[in-house]
Amino acid sequence: MKTIDSLGELRGKRVLVRSDFNVPLDGTTITDDGRIQAALPTLRRLVDAGARVVVTAHLGRPKGEPNPDFSLAPVAARLGELLGQDVALAADVTGPSAQEKVAALADGQVALLENVRFDARETSKVDAEREELAGELAALADAFVSDGFGVVHRKQASVYDVAKVLPAAAGDLVLKEVESLSRATTDPQRPYAVVLGGSKVSDKLGVIENLLTKADRLLIGGGMVFTFLAAQGHPVGTSLLEADQVDTVKGYLARAAESGVEIVLPTDIVAADSFAADAPHRTVPADQIPDGTMGLDIGPASGALFAARLADAKTIVWNGPMGVFEFDAFAAGTRAVAQGIVDATAAGAFSIVGGGDSAAAVRVLGFDEAGFSHISTGGGASLELLEGKELPGLAVLAD
């Protein structure tokens, strides 16, 4: 991929940067600024080079029209704090306010355009509509840097189309993400263990399909595990279950057995009477979940089992929590897996936390991010790379 160095001298040039600032908010308060922190190295590099930096990003799902609930104003304030300079926020995406803020930039200054998804053309399936918005974005800049790894799997105006109009390069974050994930997809050191969690098997079908030919071990937890347990004929009570995927999972179990890939499932489950932080709960055998109860975490024996199966791994990828870690009562399984990965990393493993809820869990549960080799900023993008897919936002940056 083309790098920032390929863009030549940047002093005085307007550089459009696509960042991923889709951060969680409580009202107007950012509850996890991890994605803003991850964007800083590229932005500081451009600022130090004297570029006039124009950042475009999205937040939430505003459905193609302005919505104050999804304004990037909190992001502009936090970014300014971290950069140590005022970050001007345009009131629109490419309109008069955006043009005014960009025109007022001096060398080394930063402006943030309002939420790009306030414009329906950003995510349009019609090429001409996306290209029109890309043209308007390109008119604000002399070069483009793609640094929003969390969106490079999307064929969107500010990710894909604008890179075809302006001199374009991958930012430092995107390069780091691709390099790290490539270590898990191209000749990984073995044993190669993958921990999959989260709510749905269907979200990870392509990943499981691909990993059955590459990984040595798949450790399955989270809501998706109940489809695996059901495929083995076990009762799952009222736990999350994708009944239409049971036959698919049976096929995975059979293929794993044939190919020698170890699938590690929980031996015990924390079952609750309802989905609530204070719901009555108890630990039960994984194959004996009582009627009327739902599994909300893997049990303590399973946490110890998973950690043991990670201890000798040389490559580890983790995508998806083991339970409802946001509730203290159901966070122990995710904590045990995270600690197991930290311990394996300290012993020499290369570990990747695959973005999304897994990255949030690391921070919520108080782990030092330095204990993991790489924490991805893009859940969906990292999954698609693990599936072996070509990502449009990366392909368009090819040399």
Judge whether 84 is annotated as a binding position.
no
Judge whether 319 is annotated as a binding position.
no
Closest CA relative to residue 79, chosen from 107, 54, 49: 54
φ, ψ of residue 255 to 5 degrees: the values are: -65, -40
Judge whether 348 is annotated as a binding position.
no
The DSSP 8-state label assigned to residue 69 in this structure reads G
Mapped to the 3 state alphabet, what secondary structure does 100-159 carry?
HHHHCCCCCCEEECCCHHHCHHHHCCCHHHHHHHHHHHHCCCCEEEECCHHHCCCCCHHH
Q: Exactly one of 80, 135, 380, 388 is catalytic; which is it?
A: 380
Judge whether 121 is annotated as a binding position.
no
Judge whether 197 is annotated as a binding position.
no
Alpha-carbon span 95 to 1, nearest angstrom: 31
CB 292 within 8 A of CB 308: no
Q: Exactly one of 45, 200, 255, 314 is catalytic; which is it?
A: 200
Q: For residue 241, is it left (φ>0), alpha (ψ between -120 and 50) or beta?
A: beta
What token pair was written down for 226? 């109940």
Amino acid at position 99, single letter: Q
Q: Exactly one of 356, 378, 379, 393 is catalytic; which is it?
A: 356
Q: Exactly one of 18, 35, 52, 101 is catalytic; which is it?
A: 35
CB 266 within 8 A of CB 299: yes
Judge whether 70 is annotated as a binding position.
no
Judge whether 59 is annotated as a binding position.
yes
The DSSP 8-state label assigned to residue 299 in this structure reads -
Alpha-carbon span 57 to 73, nearest angstrom: 12
CB 302 within 8 A of CB 286: yes
Judge whether 45 is annotated as a binding position.
no
Judge whether 309 is annotated as a binding position.
no
29-30 and 25-26 as β-strands: parallel, antiparallel, unpaired? antiparallel
In a 3-state reduction of DSSP, which class is residue 191?
coil
Judge whether 11 is annotated as a binding position.
no
Query: Is there a catalytic annotation at residue 200?
Result: yes
Judge whether 58 is annotated as a binding position.
yes
Judge whether 63 is annotated as a binding position.
no
Query: Is there a catalytic annotation at residue 35?
Result: yes
Tracing tokens 């998804």 back to the chain, one arrives at 117
What residues form DSSP beta bridges with 319? 196
Cα distances (Å, whole numbers) of residue 41 to 38, 107, 252: 7, 17, 41
CB 38 within 8 A of CB 201: no
Judge whether 190 is annotated as a binding position.
no
Amino acid at position 121, single letter: R
Judge whether 333 is annotated as a binding position.
no
* Binding site listing for substrate: 20-22, 35, 58-61, 117, 154
Q: Which residues are catalytic?
A: 35, 200, 356, 380
* Binding site listing: 20-22, 35, 58-61, 117, 154, 204, 295, 326, 355-358
* Binding site listing for ATP: 204, 295, 326, 355-358
